[in-house]
C-alpha cells in the first residue's frame, strides 16, 4: 500500500513519542506530535497558549451550559474539530506517524491505518519523565497520574470510547522490553502489513 498511517496512543512517560519518532525515521515518513500545535494555530486562529491549555481538556459542565445558552462552541470543542480536520488531511496527504491527538479514533474507519497503544509500569514512567523528559525532578508519581487522567478524560469525552481499551488498537505494547525492541516490533508489523513502502514523494 502506497499510503499508510500509524497512530500511537500512549500513557504519559511510556516513551510513545520517542518510539514514534524512531519509527517514522526508519520508515522514511512524516511524524506529527507537538507539530500539531502549529497546524492547529493555522486552522483555528487561536494562539499557541490557548491551544496548549485546551487541546487536552474536556468541556466542563459550566462551559457546556454556557455554550447551550450562547450557541458558541467551547474552546475545547473548537480545537477538537480543528484537530479532526487536520488529522484527516495529514492522512490524505501521505504516509505518516501520528502520536496522540485521538488519531486512532479519528481514522478508525480507514483501511490503511495501524493503531498502537504504548504503556509501561508507573515506576519506569516516572523515571523516564525525570531522566529523559527533564520533568518531575521530585519523582512524584501523582504528576504522571494527573497527565494520564487528563488524557483519559479528554479521549473518553470526545471519542465516546475508553482510553487504552485494547479493542481500539491493532496492538498494545509494554515498553518494559525497551524502546528499541518495541520499535522493532512495530516496524516489523508495519512492513508485513503495508510492505514498508512510502508514497512516491518519498515521505
Question: Model confidence at 72, in pLDDT bands (50, 70, 90)?
Answer: low
Report strand pairing: 5-10 vs 113-119: parallel
Query: Rounded to the nearest 10 degrees, how much is the dihedral formed by the CA atoms of 177, 179, 183, 186?
Result: 50
Question: In this model, does residue 162 exceed pLDDT 80?
Answer: yes
Contacts of 160 (CB under 8 A, 6+ apart): none
The DSSP call for residue 167 is G
CA distance 69 to 128: 44
Residues 107 and 7 sit within 8 Å (Cβ to Cβ): yes
Question: In this model, does residue 12 exceed pLDDT 60?
Answer: yes
What pLDDT is recorded for position 56? 64
Question: In this model, does residue 196 exceed pLDDT 90?
Answer: no
Buried b or exposed e, range 16-45, using 16+ CB within 10 angstroms: bbbbbebbbeebebbbbbeebeebbeebbe
Furthest-apart CA atoms within the chain: distance in Å: 52
Which H/E stretch holds residue 118?
Answer: strand 113-119
Question: Model confidence at 203, in pLDDT bands (50, 70, 90)?
Answer: very low
Mean pLDDT of 28-43: 89
pLDDT tens, position by position, 100-120: 999 999 999 999 999 999 999
Amino acid at each position: 500500500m502506497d499510503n499508510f498511517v500509524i497512530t500511537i496512543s500512549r500513557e504519559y512517560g511510556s516513551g510513545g513519542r520517542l518510539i514514534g519518532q524512531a519509527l517514522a525515521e526508519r520508515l522514511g515518513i512524516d511524524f506529527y506530535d507537538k507539530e500539531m500545535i502549529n497546524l492547529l494555530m493555522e486552522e483555528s486562529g487561536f494562539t499557541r497558549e490557548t491551544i496548549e491549555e485546551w487541546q487536552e481538556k474536556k468541556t466542563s459542565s459550566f462551559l457546556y451550559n454556557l455554550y447551550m445558552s450562547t450557541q458558541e462552541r467551547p474552546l475545547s470543542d473548537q480545537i477538537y474539530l480543528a484537530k479532526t480536520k487536520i488529522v484527516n488531511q495529514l492522512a490524505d496527504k501521505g504516509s505518516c506517524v501520528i502520536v496522540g491527538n485521538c488519531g486512532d479514533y479519528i481514522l478508525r474507519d480507514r483501511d490503511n491505518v495501524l493503531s498502537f497503544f504504548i504503556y509501561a509500569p508507573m515506576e519506569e514512567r516516572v523515571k523516564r519523565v525525570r531522566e529523559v523528559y527533564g520533568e518531575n525532578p521530585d519523582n512524584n508519581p501523582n504528576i504522571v497520574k494527573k497527565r494520564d487522567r487528563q488524557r483519559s478524560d479528554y479521549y473518553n469525552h470526545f471519542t465516546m470510547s475508553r482510553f487504552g481499551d485494547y479493542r481500539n488498537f491493532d496492538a498494545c505494547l509494554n515498553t518494559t522490553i525497551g524502546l528499541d525492541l518495541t520499535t522493532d516490533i512495530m516496524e516489523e508489523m508495519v512492513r508485513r502489513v503495508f510492505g514498508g513502502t512510502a508514497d512516491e514523494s518519498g515521505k
